Each structure stands twice: as C-alpha cells, then as structure tokens.
Structure 1
Amino acid sequence: MYIREEELLDLIHQQEEEIRNKLKTNIQQVLDEEFIMNNIFLKFLDYIKRYHTERDTMDIKEFVKNSVAPVKKIKDFDISRQDSTTVMYLHKHTYIEIDYVYKGSCNYYINSEENVLHLKEKELCIVNQNVVHGIETLSEEDIVFKCMIPFDYIEMDQFKEINQDVLMKKFLMHALNENMTKASFIVFDLKGKDIIDALICNMFYEYVKNNIGWGGAVKNFLSLLFINLMRMKESDIRMFKEIEKENLNITKILNSIQKNYQYITLKDMAEDLHFHENYLSRMIKQNTKQTFRDLLCQIRLKEAENLLLHTDLSVTEIAARVGYNKPNYFFKLFKDHYGITPIEFRTSGMV
C-alpha cells in the first residue's frame, strides 16, 4: 500500500494530539502505564501531588532525565513519532525497539550521555532489551519513528532457511534468548531502500488507523521488514556492537541523592539499585566520609538556603519543599547547622 506523505503527516499530528490530551488528563496514569515504577519514582509522583507548582511539573522532565535509568514497558506493539519537545532521557526497556529516521536526523545515546551516535536520514537502529539508551531529535522537522516490539511478535521459524551467520538473524536470536547478552544494538543505512521505508510507514498507518485486522497486518509488515534487513549487505550495516552491562558507581548514587533529595530514602534507593541497604550505606560512608542521613540533610539545607534567600515561601512551606513534613524538626536541624533560625538567616541575607 502506498501512503502519500501528506496523509502520513496528518496521521502523525492526529496521534500526537491524542497523546498530549492523554498526558493533560492524567500524567500519573500515563507514566504508570509506560514505566515499571520504582520506589523513588513513586515517591516523586507523590511529592508532585502534594506540592504541585509549575516548577514541580517541569521537574518531572528533569527527574526522568537525571535519575537512574527508568525501565519502560509495553503490553502490545506500539509505534509513534519521537516527540521533538521531550527532553532526552536515558532509559531501558523490556522489549526490542526499532528507531527509524524518516526525515532529518537525531542523536542516539547508548549507555551514557558521552557515547552518542548521530543517526542520519534513512538510518535505522534496533536496540535490544535492557540496553540503556536515549533519543534526541534536533528540530521540529525531524521525523523519527519509534517502534516497540513485544517478543511474541517475532516468530523465528519463518526465518529458518536463512543462515544463522546473517547479522540481523543473529541479533534476533540473541535478543530472544535471555541468557545471551551480546548484540546490543545494530544500525542500518537504508538510503535507496524504498521498500523498507514503505513497510515502516505502513506499520504506522495500520497502528494509528486501527482498522479491522490491523494487528495481523502489522505482524506481516514486521516479518517483511526483518527479511529485508537480513538481506542487507554488511557494508550497509554501520554498527554491530556489544555493550557491557552498566556498572553502578558512587557518582550515580550521589547524583540520585542530589536529584531526589525531597523524598529519597536509603531503603528505597537500595531496593531500586538492587543493593543491600547496609552495603549501600557503607559505600556512601567510605566514599564521602558522611552517612546517608548527614549527606541528605546537607543537600536539603543547602536548598533551604536558596529558598529562604530567593523566594517568599514561609518556613513551613520551605520545610515541606526540601523534604521535612515536620516544621519543628526542620527548624531544629537548621539552627543546629547554622547557629541561627531560618527567619534570622533570611533577615540577615547570609550566603
């Protein structure tokens, strides 16, 4: 089926409008449907509900961008355009993802913000589950399709006649075997491959139009896409790379505390990072010479300083903002640390 570009753009705008309306209606429901919620994320959402301001709403983007890479989930096949207004954030997921640059370009981050690939027009990247990555489009004109593929959409029997040394087949075999960790991502140069361009556009069309039998149609298009990728010459495969599992280190732990100081606890962070609470506590003490509690208190009081000097919020409001629900306890901590009360600090204009 041939889809005119005007029709494709109309479908993109239709889907984007539906997504924005859903976000406006209930952002927490959308996040809960899209992410495997960890304890810190849930505490963050609770904090937003209790102390909702325009600034806090913007902090959702900063939280997702700077916290430990969240895990995304899906129940079924999904395809959409990468939102050019969304800040790039590192994440991983429980499915295979195909990202195709239909128009323009994008930056593709693998494992960290330092390891970035620049994907050009008509290039396609497939990333395996559990690989930390993020996408950043560079302008509103860029059109990058994100395609989320559950493993039950991939039936390897239909590729049995294809040699197992073919890179694309090897990639899928690794992806479907949880015990295999190689073949983390693969990039194809598809310039001049109009059939692949058409297959991806047709998958998007079927998904958005949601006509009778769309699911079967998508599976057929997807199978044809994989077969055509298996036929690609190795010279057109820009990258086939193995990435080691990301090692958690003290820098990331401290960054998590710094970004989530309002609601973070040692227990929740230990569970989210899959560390024993005592081990995490010792790691922090060995590297900072401070306990988790003292470090957290220091960060909170530093933010309280800023709010006292640069806002008109009451001391009670500031206490809540920095993570203390009991104003009297905040008052005592502040006076013990600075030698004066929060009100005296504000009046004196100390820095």
Structure 2
Amino acid sequence: MTDLELDAFLRKYTAIEELLDDCSNPDDKEAVKQEYLELPSEILDEAMFIPPGQDITFSVHPRFSPVDTHRHSFIELIYIYSGECHQTINNNRVSMKKGELCILDTNTFHSIAETGRDDIIINCLMRKSYLDWAFLSRLSGNDIFSSFLTHAIYENKHSNEYILIHSGDNEKISRIMNAILCEYFDKQPCSGEIINSYMVILFAEMLRMYKGDVNERNYSALKNTKITDIIHYLQSNYKTVTLESTARHFNFNSNYLGKVLKKITGSTFIDLVHQIRLSQACILLRNSDVSVQTVANEVGYENINFFYRIFKRKYDCSPAEYRKSHSPALA
C-alpha cells in the first residue's frame, strides 16, 4: 500500500457515514444514530476492542457522530491524520489538529465531539502488556514520559493521566505513522514485526518532543535517578539481581528503594524481577526447543517447581502449553 492508497482508504466512507452525511435534517441524522450506532458503555474492556492474540490494533474513528464520556482498561493513542478533533479529557477541553498525538492512560474519562468530513482520526489501542520492559527500557532521556508509561502499565486503579504531543509540524512522525498504517491495513509477511519496530521509533520520537507537564508527585522521590535506568539495570542483571545489589548500584538505601519502586509501579521489587524473568522465559519458549528446565535455569530459576507455579499464575497455562500455542510454526 502506498501513501496515496492509504489516503484513499482512510477517506472512504463506511455505509453508516454515507447515511449520516446524506442527512440534512438533524432529526433524520439522530434517527440513523439511534438505529445503527451502539453507544459505548462508561467502561470499555480491552476484550471487546482488541482481538484475541493481538496486543495492538488500529481503527479509523467514525465521522459525523460524537462519542459520549467513557474510560477503558487499555492504553489509547489518538493520531489526527487529517482535520481536527475536539475532546473533553478529565473535564478539560482538548483540541487537536492534523499530525498531533495524544496518549490516554487507563481509566481516563474522555469524550469526542462530532467530527466532519475531513476529520480522520486514528485510534491505536494497546494492551498494557504491549508496552513491556523491553519497550520501556529504550525510552531514556525524558523520565516524566517514561514514568507515565510505567505508571499506566503497573497502576490499575488510579491511572487517569494523558499526554498531548504537539507534533503537527513534525514530518518525521507523519512518515512513521503512514508507514505503520500501510503495514496494518495492508498486511504482508512480517508486518507485525515491522509495526512493532516502527512503534518503538514512534515513541522515541514522541519522547524527544514531549514538553508537557505530567504530575511528578510519585517520581521526584528518586531525585536524579531515572526510572528507566533502574529498569535497564534490572533487565541486564535479572538472573542474579537483588534489591540490595540494585540499591548499592544507585546509591540508595534498599528499604527506601523498595518503597519508592512499589509506589511508582504498584509492584514489589521481587515481583518486578519475576515479570522480567518470565518475559525472557516466554521469548525462549517461543523461539527455541530447549527443555523447560533449561529455560527456567537460563532466566534465573533453579527450582523448576517454583518456575512452573509462578508461570502458571502469570499466564494461566504451563510453559509447555504456552510454547505449543505460541510456536512460530503455528502462527
């Protein structure tokens, strides 16, 4: 798919958009909405909007109809491909123009005003698991931005922030988004891998641009140490790392560091290490045929029974079952 083909695809009306655009009488338009458009509930669950087996999905926002106030359990990235978009986010009026991006944390209340013919809005929905440790560890250089993402992933109840990226004049972001959308709407071999790679580049470019003001109340406790530096350290040393060794490396008291990490991520230090180890175990299970015992040892577990137990608790299946269902040969 070329950029021209993408543009034609995105601008093409759906059947409902054709009906709404043809309605000159407001009462007729309202009747069409009532008959064909299902109003969203207040809380939208990812199971309804992200297909099984996928961690990220893209869609074109429907034109000519407003969306009532709602929140969701997934992370949403909104991109204005064309025209403009007027939202109300946490009771704040937010207007976006062509080329701009907005990241909505989980449980963020927002609504979208009615859009016009040239207002093409792209919705990118991501499970929290999509932005894993490997993704976060690359986002160095702006700790407020990466801390926002960390908070979105590991805090379940109180996450309700958003970040607006004023990228309207950034041609690089426009090119990256076009490349992602071409791959997504015209899937080819390896499209998934290409999209994931572009997403890392997109977030890195957004990180460069971000100059907003996110509430830093939970992040100032680490002073000059970036949360992403700690994440990178844990990733590099996950086989043998301890709270004490991490605290020594960053010149913190171990009890203090444990409390701060718990406050930022919502998880204990050992739980964070388990998450990284299990993520690495999944990579080995998907891409090698080494024994489960070897996988457990490779990621830092000597007790195979303990490995089976926490793996089952995390993924609701055994390592062997995970390997069978996620084998590239079966994909």
Match of residue 196 from structure 2: 219
Match of residue 98 from structure 2: 121
Q: Quick check: 2:81–2:121 contact (8 Å CA) kept in 1?
A: yes
Alignment of 1:143-182 (within 5 A): 143-160=120-137, 162-163=139-140, 166-179=143-156, 181-182=158-159
Match of residue 102 from structure 1: 81
Q: Quick check: 2:82–2:121 contact (8 Å CA) kept in 1?
A: yes
Within the candidate set 111, 122, 127, 1:134 is matched to 111
- Runs of 5+ unmatched residues, structure 2: 18-28, 217-331
Question: Which of these two proteins has the greater Rg computed from alpha carbons?
Answer: 1
- Partners of 2:37 and 2:8 in 1: how far apart? 31
Q: Quick check: 2:64–2:115 contact (8 Å CA) kept in 1?
A: no
- Partners of 1:146 and 1:198 in 2: how far apart? 17
Shift of 1:183: 6.0
Alignment of 1:176-325 (within 5 A): 176-179=153-156, 181-182=158-159, 184-234=161-211, 237=212, 240=214
How many pairs align? 199
Per-residue CA shift, 1:237-265, capped at 9, x if unaligned? 3x5369xxxxxxxxxxxxxxxxxxxxxxx
Shift of 1:124: 0.9
Alignment of 1:52-131 (within 5 A): 58-59=33-34, 64=39, 69-73=42-46, 74-75=50-51, 76=54, 77-112=56-91, 115-131=92-108
Q: Quick check: 2:85–2:96 contact (8 Å CA) kept in 1?
A: yes
Distance 1:240 1:121, change over 3 A: farther
Per-residue CA shift, 1:90-147, capped at 9, x if unaligned? 22222111101122111112235xx321112222110011212122353111121111
Per-residue CA shift, 1:2-27, capped at 9, x if unaligned? 943x222222256x64x869xxxxxx
Q: Quick check: 2:176–2:198 contact (8 Å CA) kept in 1?
A: yes
Match of residue 324 from structure 2: none
Match of residue 276 from structure 1: none
Tell me the amino acid that sits aligned with residue 176 of structure 2: L
Identity %: 22
Tell me the amino acid that sits aligned with residue 64 of structure 2: T
Q: Quick check: 1:84–1:136 contact (8 Å CA) kept in 2?
A: no
- Partners of 1:161 and 1:215 in 2: how far apart? 19
Match of residue 9 from structure 1: 7
Q: Quick check: 1:90–1:133 contact (8 Å CA) kept in 2?
A: yes
Q: Quick check: 1:80–1:204 contact (8 Å CA) kept in 2?
A: no
Q: Quick check: 1:164–1:170 contact (8 Å CA) kept in 2?
A: no
Tell me the amino acid that sits aligned with residue 219 of structure 1: N
Tell me the amino acid that sits aligned with residue 229 of structure 1: M
Shift of 1:79: 1.0
Distance 1:139 1:63, change over 3 A: closer
Distance 1:110 1:183, change over 3 A: closer
- Partners of 2:209 and 2:168 in 1: how far apart? 12
Tell me the TM-score normalized by structure 1: 0.49
Tell me the amino acid that sits aligned with residue 172 of structure 1: L
SS in structure 1 of the partner of residue 169 of structure 2? coil
- Partners of 1:118 and 1:55 in 2: how far apart? 24
Q: Quick check: 1:107–1:117 contact (8 Å CA) kept in 2?
A: yes
Per-residue CA shift, 1:194-235, capped at 9, x if unaligned? 12111212221111112122211111111111111122252x
SS in structure 2 of the partner of residue 191 of structure 1? coil
CA RMSD of aligned residues (A): 3.2
Per-residue CA shift, 1:266-287, capped at 9, x if unaligned? xxxxxxxxxxxxxxxxxxxxxx
